[in-house]
Amino acid sequence: MTNLDRIDSRITLNNGLLIPVLGLGVYKSGSKTYDAVRSALDIGYRRIDTASLYENEEAVGRAIIDSGLKRKDVFITTKIWNTDIRSGKILEACERSLELLNTDYIDLYLMHWPVPDKYVAAYCEMEKLLDKKLIKALGVSNFLIPQLDNLLPKCNIVPALNQIETHPYLTNVSLIDYCIKHNITPEAWAPICRGTIISDPVILSIADKYSRTPTQIVLRWHLQRQTTVIPKSVNQKRIAENSKIFDFTLDDADMDLIYDLNSNHRTGPDPANFDF
Ligand SMILES: NC(=O)c1ccc[n+]([C@@H]2O[C@H](COP(=O)([O-])OP(=O)(O)OC[C@H]3O[C@@H](n4cnc5c(N)ncnc54)[C@H](OP(=O)(O)O)[C@@H]3O)[C@@H](O)[C@H]2O)c1
């Protein structure tokens, strides 16, 4: 990853589309979604990560429009939910999200979970949304190596991105290496382990060394390992704090200290045993 020096720093996805490396996550932001998105855009975030499941696409769309920013300057990710993957009603699901977001296109559309026996057919159907210009990039989420191994020979378009749970307690090294090798951008959900990393003694001591906060250290660690981040907050101060990660660099020894915190701890379901 290069040029990690601005809040709107972007990298190039495998289809040539530029994506900001930092976005605001809005899972469980509820009635605070609108204000959180407005705050983030005011501060300089240029990317929002939502999903049909979160039931806040309407508030995200409204906040983007009210921000006065041009549509092309804000990158929107949303995700298709498992019921729509199971039913195969892919176009309808995408059109519903477009309507709620009040936009003509989605920048990045992700399959939220690899629903067994359904995800290959659903993904191939999602590829057609690119032809229809309803989405600019297509990706997946919560895909493990076996599911990617199964999908890649059967699809026409390599997923642009795989959004997975990863943080210092779940470093997910082999999956991230696999994604990078196959030109699939890895992205971290729960990048700050739902806030729990702020009391970790190792992270606290590194934060002290760089005069940064624990979340800034961890978010920077993700970027330096070529993983994009979408930390969630509904708190204006914390939204700002989480964006100040573009003016320092962790040295290799400190990167390694953070890798060493891995305990394969998950905050969310294991995709290998998810109750679909
Ligand atoms: N693809 C998937 O299956 C999937 C699953 C889960 C999440 N996601 C996406 O990933 C995003 C991020 O993941 P996440 O929301 O689960 O977890 P997260 O971003 O790791 O953590 C969010 C939690 O940390 C707190 N927080 C944020 N900044 C903080 C700071 N600077 N200091 C202390 N606490 C802070 C937040 O509280 P406040 O809001 O009160 O600040 C919230 O409770 C989601 O919002 C969603 O967009 C995707």
pLDDT of residue 108: 99
CA distance 119 to 143: 10
Does the pLDDT value for residue 132 go beyond 70? Answer: yes
For 175-212, the pLDDT digits (tens) are: 999 999 999 999 999 999 999 999 999 999 999 999 99
Residue 119 Cα to ligand 1 middle (Å): 26
Answer for the pair 39, 183: CB distance below 8 angstroms, yes or no. Answer: no
Q: Is the dihedral of CA 213, 218, 221, 223 positive or negative?
A: negative
By DSSP bridging, strand 24-25 and strand 18-20 are unpaired
Ligand 1, atom 39, residue with closest C-alpha: 233
Domain map (residue ranges) of the chain: 10-263
Answer for the pair 141, 122: CB distance below 8 angstroms, yes or no. Answer: no
For 220-262, the pLDDT digits (tens) are: 999 999 999 999 999 999 999 999 999 999 999 999 999 999 9
- For the Cβ of 190 lying below 6 angstroms from any atom of ligand 1, the answer is yes
Mutate to test the pocket of ligand 1, among 192, 229, 274 (most ligand atoms within 8 A of CB): 192
Architecture of domain 10-263: Alpha-Beta Barrel (3.20)
Q: Tell me whether residue 182 is exposed, middle or buried, using C-beta atoms within 10 angstroms of its C-beta: 0 to 12, 13 to 18, 19 or more.
A: middle
For ligand 1, what atom is nearest to the CA of residue 32? 39
Compute, in degrees rounded to 10, the torsion defined by CA atoms 21, 59, 100, 230.
Answer: 20
Residue 156 Cα to ligand 1 middle (Å): 33
For 90-115, the pLDDT digits (tens) are: 999 999 999 999 999 999 999 999 99
Q: Which residue's structure tokens are 């009603």?
A: 89
- For the Cβ of 9 lying below 6 angstroms from any atom of ligand 1, the answer is no
pLDDT of residue 237: 98
Residue 40 Cα to ligand 1 middle (Å): 14
pLDDT > 90: percent of the chain:
96
DSSP of 181-224: HTT-EEEEESTTGGGGGGG-HHHHHHHHHHT--HHHHHHHHHHH
Ligand 1, atom 27, residue with closest C-alpha: 233
- For the Cβ of 231 lying below 6 angstroms from any atom of ligand 1, the answer is yes
CA distance 237 to 271: 33
Ligand 1, atom 34, residue with closest C-alpha: 195
pLDDT of residue 1: 60
Instruction: Please tell me the pTM assigned to this model.
Output: 0.98
9, 31, 49, 63, 94 from 102: Cα distances, Å? 26, 18, 15, 11, 12
- For the Cβ of 35 lying below 6 angstroms from any atom of ligand 1, the answer is no
Ligand 1, atom 33, residue with closest C-alpha: 195
Ligand 1, atom 38, residue with closest C-alpha: 233
- Across the chain, mean pLDDT equals 97
- For the Cβ of 160 lying below 6 angstroms from any atom of ligand 1, the answer is no
Alpha helix (H) residue ranges in the chain: 33-43, 57-67, 82-87, 90-101, 119-131, 145-151, 173-181, 201-210, 214-224, 236-241, 252-259
